[in-house]
Amino acid sequence: TLLGYIITDLPIESKALQQMLRYATNRSFNCISVDGDMSTNDTISMIANGAIDIPEITISSAEYQQIQSQVTAFAQQLAQLVVRDGEGSTKFVTINVNNSLNFEDANKIAKTISNSMLVKTALYGQDANWGRILCAIGYTELTDLKSLDINKINVSFVATDNSEPNELKLIVNGVPQLDIDETFASKLLSLDDLEISINLGTGKETAKFWTCDLSHEYVTINGDYRS
């Protein structure tokens, strides 16, 4: 179950607060996956008590967009901590889908990869298994089939530790790179933090999801949770 609380001393009008929280959640807590299961209890709440002496923030306030951006970035920090604590996880993985025809399909593709047990076990095993990533992209239930063009797709693993080279190209314009540098692949996949980058090449929209690997420990933890 996910529970979260964001507490602030700003004065924010209730409708503005609900809109701000919904916006932030759709770009943070709704973009994480540990195991693909949705709880009966997931809740994120936000309280603004107005202890800071400024005029109440409404949707039309000049500061609204700035505060909404700050709350969103803040919510992303919290959401990412949940993924980092994924049961038994050893890796934190950002799924970055770029240049999509529309946001919905970018988001669906990112979510599908994040939830693929086979992608997640490959990440745990440090196996550069691009086939599983491509498979997950391919079975995503898209809203518009034009979002995915098999001749335009690019897939890479990207290091997030500022090392160079930082990118291992797996698929280039739809063509799998069969002579992957396995030494580099092993080095990259041994990182605790990494990114899977997907360039759909069908538009301009982007989506991000945060996920983790799936380990033996996940089964151990969940085999006897109730007892």
Partner 1 sequence: NNASKVIDKYSLYVPKDGVFPKGFQVASTATGVKKNGSLDLGIIKNINTSRPSNAAAVFTTNKFKAAPVLVSKKVLEVTSGKGINAIVINSGCANAVTGDVGLKDANEMINLVNENMKNKDSTLVMSTGVIGQRLQMDKISKGIKDIFSQDKFGDDFNSWLNVAKSICTTDTFPKIVSSKFKLPDGKEYTLTGMAKGAGMICPNMA
| Binders in 70-89 for partner 1, by CB under 8 A | 70-71, 74-75, 77-79, 81-87
Question: Which lies closer to partner 1 via its Cβ, residue 90 or residue 177?
Answer: 90
User: Within a 10 A sphere around the Cβ of 47, how many other Cβ atoms?
Assistant: 11
Contact 155, 110 (CB under 8 A): no
d(CA 195, CA 34) in angstroms, rounded, equals 15
Q: Which range touches partner 1 (CB under 8 A), out of 7-15, 97-105, 138-146, 157-165?
A: 7-15
Q: What sign does the CA torsion over 29, 209, 166, 216 have?
A: positive
Helix ranges (DSSP H) in 99-200: 103-115, 117-124, 130-139, 182-189
Q: Which range touches partner 1 (CB under 8 A), out of 59-67, 132-140, 146-154, 156-164?
A: 59-67
Query: What are the distances in angstroms from CA 66 to CA 24, 63, 69, 72, 80?
Result: 12, 5, 5, 10, 21
Distance, C-alpha 200 to centroid of its chain: 17
Nearest distance in Å: CB 22, partner 1: 6
Q: Which range touches partner 1 (CB under 8 A), out of 51-59, 146-154, 156-164, 199-207?
A: 51-59
**Cα angle for residues 78, 211, 108 (degrees, 5° grid):** 105
d(CA 140, CA 94) in angstroms, rounded, equals 18
Q: Is 219 in the site for partner 1 (CB under 8 A)?
A: no
Nearest distance in Å: CB 172, partner 1: 27
Contact 97, 106 (CB under 8 A): yes
**127-186 positions binding partner 1, by CB under 8 A:** none
Q: Is 191 in the site for partner 1 (CB under 8 A)?
A: no
121 noted as active-site residue: no
Nearest distance in Å: CB 152, partner 1: 28
Question: Which lies closer to partner 1 via its Cβ, residue 99 or residue 126?
Answer: 126
Nearest distance in Å: CB 44, partner 1: 5
Q: Is 65 in the site for partner 1 (CB under 8 A)?
A: no
Q: Is 50 in the site for partner 1 (CB under 8 A)?
A: yes
Q: Is 12 in the site for partner 1 (CB under 8 A)?
A: yes
Catalytic residue list: 1
